[in-house]
Amino acid sequence: MTTDREAEREKLNQFWSKVTQVVLDRSDRFGPLIQSLRAAVPIVWDGDTLILGISGAHAYLSGHLETGINRHRVREVMKELARRDVDYRLIEGTALEDWDVVKKKEEIQRQRDEGHGATQVVQPPVSSAPGEDAFPAGAWANFQQNLHFGWQRLGARRTMPVARAQFLQEAVKMVLEAEAEAAAAGESEENMERLVTRAIERIAGMVDIPATGAALELIRSRGEMPERKPPERPKKKHK
């Protein structure tokens, strides 16, 4: 038996599929905008705003939905099909729980801005999109959250090559920081290699480059880091 939530989700999928098809029919080529429309997942209506989610693997496409001209094109089609003035908003993650996390975070920020928030507020965790492995708690969970917020701050600049290159450099530094923190906590070499590989693949997907390119940036950045010298042992005094 189909639940109300499943029925609503099906309506959303059908609506977004029609939007994508109409935009494609009116386009002269199959470009990044169409790819981003197909990657976006409708989550829920928030008033007259359709909340769209995008997985971490397709995050590099999200900027194409944020540029002014593309937003105008998509909104015009949405308004025609919905027969009312509607808009959309893009978030990372494709589940309703991801939208809940965003709302909680924004409520915390609103309280802070109004001066009514608690002195210290615990930030809600960033959930992973379905099908993606979450990083373990600790240094790597912090890395995942910082990576997410760093990418969100780019906004429409995500489509600019220079902005992506700068983000790549910042993201690699995050990997090095997480690696150092995890090593200090006793992370095994086997797990460390696996987690660093996953982090590099995630970053590469976001900036739309081969994983090898992101790995080379990691190696280069490691070479710039000062070598850590082991602490000197106290000299024995001769009697």
DSSP string, 66-130: TSHHHHHHHHHHHHHHHTS--EEEEEESSSHHHHHHHHHHHHHHHHHHHT-S-SS-PPPPPPPPT
Average pLDDT estimate for 175-191: 89
pLDDT mean across residues, the chain: 81
Average pLDDT estimate for 85-92: 90
- Give residue-wise pLDDT tens across range 157-175: 777 788 888 899 999 999 9
Cα dihedral: 104, 106, 108, 112 (round 10): -170
Q: pTM for the full model?
A: 0.52
**Domain-by-domain residue ranges, the chain?**
13-97, 133-224
Which of 102-111, 129-138, 154-163, 202-211 is the least confident region?
A: 129-138
CATH 3.30.300.180 fits 13-97, yes or no: yes
Question: Residue 234's pLDDT is what?
Answer: 53
Amino acid at 141: A
Distance CA 48, CA 84 (A): 8
Distance CA 142, CA 174 (A): 9
Read off the pLDDT band of 66 (50, 70, 90).
confident
In 3D, which of 14, 20, 9 has the Cα closest to residue 96?
Answer: 9
